C-alpha cells in the first residue's frame, strides 16, 4: 500500500493542467467519492494495526497534497481569467461630462423657421435637388426668354438642357400642387444652386425656405398678417414689417418684405446699411397661371407664396459678416453655436 501512496503522490506533484476542465477531471479522479485516494482509505481498514499510524499519516499527506495542488491551480486559472477580462467600470465614480456638440447655424435657423410655421398649420415638404424645366421654370410662369433660364444663372446638366440643379424650392411647391387638392399650407426648406460668383455676400450654393398657402378667398391681407406673425416670432415682439412692390413671374401682385433692424432699433447701423430696415424675403399672391398649370381652378382658389434665404436671416441673427463661413466647416466657427438650439 505504501508503494501505491508514493506513486499517487508523484502523480499529484507532477500534474500540470492546461485548462480548468483538465483540473476538474483530476479532482474527480483523485478526490471524488469513488476516486483513487478515497479508495486507499477504504483499504486502510485492512492494514495491520502496528502500521496504521504511519500509513494514516502518509494517506493524510497524500490527500492534503492533492487538495493543495487543486486549489493552487484553481487560483491560477481564476487569476488568468480576471486579467483577460475587460476592466469593469466603477459606477460609483462621478460621471464625466461629454463635450457639448453644436448645430450648424443654418440648421438652427431652418429649424426655428420650420417650428414657427408649423405652429400655424404649415407642413414641411421636400423635393429633388435636380429638377426638370417644367417644375423649375415653366409651371412657375417663367417665359422662355427669362434671364433665369440663361447659363449665367442656372447650372444645367450637361447634354440635357431640360435638366438643371434647382434654382429655388418653388419647384417643390409645384409638385405639392400637382399631387394635392386645396387647401394647401406648406413650407419647402432646402438647398438651391445658382451660377453666381462667390463672395462675402453671395454663393453658388445657398438655402431657402419657401411657403405656400392656397384655399378659397385667400387675400393679400392674409399674407401680410402671416408674415407679420413670422417676423415677430423670429426677430422679437417689437419687430415691424414693410412691403415694397416688386416683381416675380409666379406671383401677382408681388412684394419684397423688410423687417425693422433689431440691432439698432431704427436709427441705422452697418447691418441695415443705416436704413433701419433689413430685407428678408420676397412674397406675393400666386399668379392664376401657376394655379392653372398645376391643375388647380384659379376661378375658385387663390393663395400666397413667400420665400426667404436662410443664410441672410442667420447672418442678421448671429451678426455674421461673411457668407462663405457657412460652407468652410471651420470648427472654431461652429463651436460658437454649442448652446444654440
Cα distances from 288 to residues 19, 136, 199, 251, 294, in angstroms, run 86, 17, 37, 8, 10
Cell of 117: 410655421
More confident residue, 10 or 302: 302
Please tell me whether residue 25 adopts helix, strand or coil conformation: helix
Cell of 57: 499519516
Place of cell 391643375: 295
Name the strand (E) or helix (H) holding 131.
Answer: strand 130-132
Residue 113: predicted pLDDT: 96
CA dihedral 229, 230, 233, 239 (to 10 degrees): -70
For the stretch 249-302, pLDDT in tens is 999 999 999 998 876 766 777 767 778 888 899 999 999 999 999 999 999 999
Q: Are strands 277-286 and 251-260 parallel, antiparallel or unpaired?
A: antiparallel
Residue 53: predicted pLDDT: 76
More confident residue, 328 or 265: 328
Residue 1: predicted pLDDT: 65
Place of cell 451678426: 319
For the stretch 48-58, pLDDT in tens is 777 777 777 77
- DSSP states of 231-296: HHHHH-TT--EEEEEEEETTEEEEEEEEEE-TTTSSS--TTTTTSSEEEEEEEEEEPHHHHHHTT-
- pLDDT bin (cut points 50, 70, 90) of residue 213 is very high
Q: How many other C-beta atoms are found inside a 10 Å radius of the C-beta of residue 248?
A: 21
The C-alpha atoms of residue 45 and residue 296 are separated, in whole angstroms, by 111
**Average per-residue pLDDT for the chain:** 85
In this structure, are residues 276 and 264 in contact, taking their beta carbons and an 8 Å threshold?
A: yes
Q: Are strands 123-124 and 184-193 parallel, antiparallel or unpaired?
A: parallel
For the stretch 132-164, pLDDT in tens is 989 988 999 887 777 766 655 788 887 777 898
- pLDDT bin (cut points 50, 70, 90) of residue 227 is very high
Residues 6+ apart with CB under 8 A from 286: 212, 214, 250, 251, 302, 303, 304, 305
3-state percent helix, strand, coil for the chain, nearest multiple of 5: 45, 20, 35
Amino acid at each position: 500500500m505504501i508503494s501505491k501512496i508514493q506513486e499517487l503522490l508523484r502523480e499529484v506533484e507532477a500534474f500540470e493542467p492546461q485548462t480548468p476542465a483538465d483540473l476538474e477531471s483530476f479532482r474527480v479522479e483523485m478526490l471524488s467519492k469513488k476516486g483513487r485516494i478515497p479508495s486507499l482509505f477504504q483499504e486502510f481498514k485492512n492494514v495491520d494495526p502496528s502500521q496504521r499510524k504511519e500509513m494514516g499519516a502518509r494517506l493524510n499527506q497524500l490527500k492534503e497534497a492533492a487538495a493543495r495542488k487543486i486549489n493552487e491551480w484553481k487560483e491560477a486559472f481564476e487569476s488568468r481569467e480576471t486579467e483577460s477580462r475587460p476592466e469593469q467600470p466603477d459606477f460609483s465614480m462621478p460621471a464625466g461630462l461629454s463635450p457639448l456638440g453644436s448645430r450648424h447655424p443654418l440648421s438652427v435657423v431652418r429649424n426655428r423657421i420650420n417650428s414657427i410655421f408649423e405652429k400655424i398649420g404649415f407642413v414641411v415638404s421636400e423635393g429633388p435637388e435636380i429638377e426638370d424645366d417644367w417644375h423649375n421654370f415653366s409651371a412657375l410662369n417663367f417665359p422662355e426668354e427669362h434671364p433665369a433660364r440663361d447659363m449665367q444663372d442656372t447650372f444645367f446638366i450637361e447634354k440635357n438642357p431640360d435638366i438643371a440643379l434647382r434654382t429655388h424650392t418653388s419647384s417643390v411647391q409645384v409638385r405639392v400642387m400637382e399631387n394635392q387638392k386645396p387647401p394647401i399650407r406648406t413650407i419647402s426648406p432646402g438647398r438651391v444652386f445658382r451660377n453666381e460668383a462667390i463672395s462675402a455676400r453671395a454663393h453658388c450654393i445657398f438655402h431657402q425656405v419657401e411657403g405656400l398657402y392656397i384655399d378659397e378667398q385667400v387675400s393679400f391681407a392674409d399674407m401680410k398678417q402671416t408674415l407679420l406673425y413670422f417676423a415677430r416670432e423670429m426677430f422679437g415682439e417689437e419687430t415691424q414689417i414693410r412691403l415694397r412692390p416688386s416683381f416675380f413671374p409666379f406671383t401677382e401682385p408681388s412684394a419684397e418684405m423688410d423687417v425693422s433692424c433689431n440691432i439698432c432699433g431704427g436709427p441705422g447701423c452697418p447691418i441695415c446699411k443705416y436704413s433701419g430696415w433689413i430685407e428678408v424675403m420676397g412674397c406675393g399672391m400666386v399668379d392664376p397661371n401657376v394655379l392653372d398649370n398645376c391643375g388647380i381652378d384659379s376661378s375658385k382658389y387663390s393663395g400666397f407664396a413667400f420665400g426667404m434665404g436662410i443664410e441672410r436671416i442667420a447672418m442678421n441673427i448671429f451678426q455674421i459678416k461673411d457668407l462663405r463661413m457657412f460652407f468652410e466647416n471651420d470648427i472654431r466657427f461652429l463651436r460658437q453655436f454649442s448652446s444654440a438650439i
